[in-house]
Amino acid sequence: MKTENSINIIPRKKHNISRRDISSNALKVLYRLNKSGYEAYLVGGSVRDLLLGKKPKDFDITTNATPEQMRKLFRNCRLVGRRFRLAHVMFGLEVIEVATFRGPHQYTNIANRNRCQCQKNGMLLRDNIFGSIEDDAQRRDLTINSLYYSISDFSVRDYVGGFQDLKTGIIRLIGDPETRYREDPVRMLRVIRFAAKLNMQIHIETAKPIVNLVTLLKNIPPARLFEESLKLLQTGFGLNTYMMMREYQLFQPLFPILAQGFTTQGNSVMERLLIQVFKNTDIRINNQMNVNAAFLFAAMFWYPQLELAQRIVQKNSVSYHDASILAINEILDGVCKTLAIPKRITTLIRDIWHLQLRMSRRHGKYAWKLMEHPKFRAAYDLLVLRANIEKNQQLQHLSCWWTEFQSAVLTQQKNMLSKIGNEPLMYRNSTKLNYCDINYNNRSSST
C-alpha cells in the first residue's frame, strides 16, 4: 500500500477483488468511460462486499462524466433523480447506476446555490453539485462505503480510512455525525442496518448523537420510510436490526403503534411474536426463499389490531366482526401515516387478518373454499405463529387441525370434517376464539 497526500492506494496484489466477480455489464460501462477519457470507478457497497468476500447485490459506478455526457456516451442510458441526478445504463433487467462525483454543498456562488437546497434544520432537499473524487469520498455516508475500485490499474482507493474500518469491523460516519444526520436523518437507519448486516460495531462518535436526533425522522416522507423499513427488516438480518433499533430508540419513530406495547422486560406476547417473525423472515431470506411484506406487517401489527378490537367490543357492544373491521381500518390508517404502505399491500394485510376470523369455521364445504383463497397460506402461517407464541390450547388445536387437513387425502378430509361436531365446544364456532381467549391485555406477567 502507498499513500499520496491523504489517499491510501491499495494495489491489486494487496486486495482480493477480481474482475471475474464483477458484473460484465458494469465492466462494459467502466471500460467505455475509461477509454473515452473519463475517470471511472466501482464504488460503494459492491467494493465493500467484494473485499469481504461476499457477492454484491448490484454494482454502482462513479465518474467525472456529467449525466448529460453519460447520455451521449450510452444510448441505453436514462437520467433519473431530483435531489441528485443519476444515470441508469440499462442492460435488460440489470441496471448499472452511474453517479457523477459529488462536490461539497456549502458553495456560495449563485450557480451552485440554485443546484443545492436545504431546509432550515440542515436536511438536504436538492444537491446537484459536482466535484472531484476527493470531494465525492467526503460526501459519502460511511467510511466502508467510500472505497473506489479503479478500472485503470485495478487498485482500491481509500480517502477516508474505510479500508482499515472494514478490516476492524467499525461502522463510522464520514464528517461530523450530527451534521450528517441532520442533512439526511435516514443515515441513522443506515448506520443500524449496516452494523446489523455486517455484524460490526458502531463507532462511539457515530452512535452518540442518534438518541437525541431520532425525532428528525418525522421530517422524512412516509413513502421513503416504508422503503427503508423493508431494507431494515427484509434483508436477512431483521432480528439483529430490530434489537439494535430498540437499543438506539429508532424503532419507535417508524413503528409508534408497536412501541406503545413494549414492556420493560421485552417479553409480552407481541414482543415475542415480533422476535419470532423476524427470525422466520431471516431464515427464509438466507435460504433464498420468497418473503411477503404483507405477511410481515400483518404479523407485526396483529396484536395492536386485536387489542383495539377488544376495546371497541367492550365500549360499543358491537359484534366481533364489526369491531374487527373498525379496528383494522384504524390501525392501518395509523400505520400509513408513518409508513406509506401501498394499497396493494394493505389489501393483502386485510385479507390475512379477516381470514384469522374465518379459520375456525370449518363445517361442510367451508374448509375447502377457505383453502382456495389466495392468501390462505399466509393466514395459516400467521395462525400457526400465534398458536406457538401464545401457547393457547384452542389456537394450537386449530392450527394442528389445519396442518393435518391440508396434507390429508380427500377421504381423510371428509372424515375430519365429520368429526368437527364431536369436538369440545371450546374448539368450535368461534370468532371468540380469536378475541376473547387471547389475554393480550394482561401484561402484568411480562412486566
Outline where DSSP puts E strands in 32-132: 40-43, 60-63, 77-80, 86-91, 94-100, 116-118, 124-127
- Look at strands 60-63 and 94-100 and give their pairing: parallel
Q: What is the pLDDT of residue 445?
A: 32
Residues 156 and 230 in one domain: no
CA–CA distance, 22 with 9 (Å, rounded to integer): 20
CATH number for the domain harbouring residue 284: 1.10.3090.10
CA–CA distance, 353 with 378 (Å, rounded to integer): 10
Query: What are residue 130's DSSP bridge partners?
Result: 102
Q: What confidence tens digit (pLDDT) does each residue in 145-197 have?
A: 999 999 999 999 999 999 999 999 999 999 999 999 999 999 999 999 999 99
pTM for the complete prediction?
0.85
- Does the residue 427 lie in any domain? no
Q: What is the pLDDT of residue 423?
A: 65
Q: What is the pLDDT of residue 353?
A: 96
60, 158, 165, 381: which is the annotated catalytic residue?
60
Say how far residue 405 (Cα) sits from the centre of its chain: 35
Q: What are phi and psi of 290, to 5 degrees?
A: -70, 150
CA–CA distance, 420 with 37 (Å, rounded to integer): 77
CA–CA distance, 402 with 190 (Å, rounded to integer): 41
21, 58, 135, 437: which is the annotated catalytic residue?
58
C-alpha cell at 153: 490499474
Cβ–Cβ under 8 Å, residues 254 and 339: yes
Cβ–Cβ under 8 Å, residues 1 and 10: yes
CATH number for the domain harbouring residue 130: 3.30.460.10
Residues 6+ apart with CB under 8 A from 344: none
The crossing angle, in degrees rounded to 10, of helices 376-390 and 269-286 is 130
Residues 340 and 366 in one domain: yes
49, 136, 141, 158: which is the annotated catalytic residue?
141
Q: What confidence tens digit (pLDDT) does each residue in 311-353 have?
A: 999 888 888 888 999 999 999 999 999 999 999 999 999 999 9
Residues 125 and 138 in one domain: yes
Residues 180 and 159 in one domain: no
Of the candidates 105, 83, 93, 89, which has an alpha carbon nearest to the alpha carbon of residue 33? 89
Of the candidates 266, 273, 262, which has an alpha carbon nearest to the alpha carbon of residue 391? 273
Residues 180 and 69 in one domain: no
- Does the residue 133 lie in any domain? yes
CA–CA distance, 188 with 293 (Å, rounded to integer): 22
- Does the residue 438 lie in any domain? no
Kindly tell me the sign of the dihedral angle through the C-alpha atoms of 185, 187, 191, 193. positive
Q: How many domains does the chain have?
A: 3
- Does the residue 49 lie in any domain? yes
Residues 176 and 216 in one domain: yes
- Does the residue 292 lie in any domain? yes
Residues 413 and 287 in one domain: yes
- Does the residue 213 lie in any domain? yes
User: Mean pLDDT score of the chain, rounded to an integer?
Assistant: 88
CB atoms within 10 A of CB 266: 14
**Each residue's pLDDT expressed in tens, for the chain with a length of 447 residues:** 444 447 999 999 999 999 999 999 999 999 999 999 999 999 999 999 999 999 999 999 999 999 999 999 999 999 998 767 899 999 999 999 999 998 875 544 444 444 444 455 545 444 568 889 999 999 899 999 999 999 999 999 999 999 999 999 999 999 999 999 999 999 999 999 999 999 999 999 999 999 999 999 999 999 999 999 999 999 899 999 999 999 999 999 999 999 998 988 878 999 999 999 999 999 999 999 999 999 999 999 999 999 999 999 988 888 888 899 999 999 999 999 999 999 999 999 999 999 998 998 888 889 999 999 999 999 999 999 999 999 888 899 999 999 999 999 999 999 999 888 766 655 544 444 444 344 444 443 332
Residues 383 and 284 in one domain: yes
DSSP letter, residue 56: P
Residues 91 and 201 in one domain: no
Residues 159 and 53 in one domain: yes
Residues 248 and 276 in one domain: no
Q: What is the pLDDT of residue 127?
A: 54
CA–CA distance, 299 with 277 (Å, rounded to integer): 7
Domain span at residue 354 reads 270-421
DSSP letter, residue 438: S
CB atoms within 10 A of CB 255: 24
Known catalytic membership, residue 58: yes
Q: What is the pLDDT of residue 106?
A: 54
Known catalytic membership, residue 141: yes
CA–CA distance, 68 with 65 (Å, rounded to integer): 8
Residues 4 and 125 in one domain: yes
Q: What is the pLDDT of residue 120?
A: 52
Known catalytic membership, residue 165: no
- Does the residue 446 lie in any domain? no
Q: What are phi and psi of 101, to 5 degrees?
A: -50, 130
